[in-house]
A = this chain, B = another copy of it.
Amino acid sequence: MRRDIFQAIADPTRRAIIAIIAIQAMTPNAIAEHFDTSRQAISKHLRILSECELLTKKQEGREIYYQLQIEKMKEIDKWLNQFRKIWESRFSQLDNLLSTIKNNKK
C-alpha cells in the first residue's frame, strides 16, 4: 500500500480537509459537517491522511481531535524547489524555446 503525500493531496476532498484542519484541530464529526458525503467516507480520508503522517490524533474522552502536521506539508515545498530554481532563471517562454532548440541541434 504505497501511500505518500502526493497521493494524499490528489483528492479534492482531502485537500479541503487539510485546509479546514490547518486553522483548527477538529473531530471527524465536525469535519464531516463541511461535506455532503457520509461521516464514514470522511473517516476513510482521515485514515489516509494519518497514514502518510499529515494528521495526528489527540483523544479527548470519546472525541478524537485531528490535527494537521504542517511540517509534513513542507515536503511538497521541498519537491517544488528543483523547479523553483528553473522558473526563477527562465524569464520568458522565448528563452525556454531558444534553449530547447539549441539543445536539439547538438
Contact = CB atoms under 8 A, between A and B. Distances in A.
Interface in A60-106: 60, 65, 67, 70-71, 73-74, 76-77, 79-80, 82-84, 86-87, 90, 93, 96, 100, 103-104
A15 interface: yes
- Please state the number of chain copies in the assembly: 2
Given A19-B82, A71-B93, A77-B80, 5 more contacts: A6-B10, A6-B15, A25-B100, A73-B87, A76-B76
Interface residues of A, number: 35
B87 A76 contact: no
A69 to B, nearest CB: 9
A70 B9 CA distance: 20
